[in-house]
Amino acid sequence: AMGGFNIIAVVIAEDRNTLESISVEKCSLRSSEGIRRSEFYPIGNIHYSQFLPVREYLARKEMTHTPCNVDCITCNRYKTEKCVGCPATTYYRGIL
């Protein structure tokens, strides 16, 4: 752990709105059990790297509820199309 933090994560998303959604909404890491303190530092410039592996097989698109038990359908950011939803669910609207 670093200082008061007990987790450090690098999170990627399909677009900035989705990144903000998974950083502050019910499905964010900060709302997970055991997380004591968290901060969010968005990266302003996005650079593509051919060496950043994205595991597309994780986008199953067959579950009705997310692995973290959040229902995308009831999420305001999902309803207003500021989040593409979870790739594990049938509600996913992203590019994977």
Residues 19-76: tens digit of each pLDDT? 888 877 777 777 778 777 777 777 766 666 655 555 666 677 888 888 888 888 998 9
Decide if 94 contacts 59 (C-beta within 8 A). Answer: yes
Q: Is the entire prediction scored with pTM above 0.85?
A: no
Q: Is the dihedral of CA 58, 14, 70, 90 positive or negative?
A: negative
What's the pLDDT score for residue 47?
A: 63
Helix or strand holding residue 23 (H, E): helix 16-24
Mean pLDDT confidence for 86-93: 90
What's the pLDDT score for residue 1?
A: 46
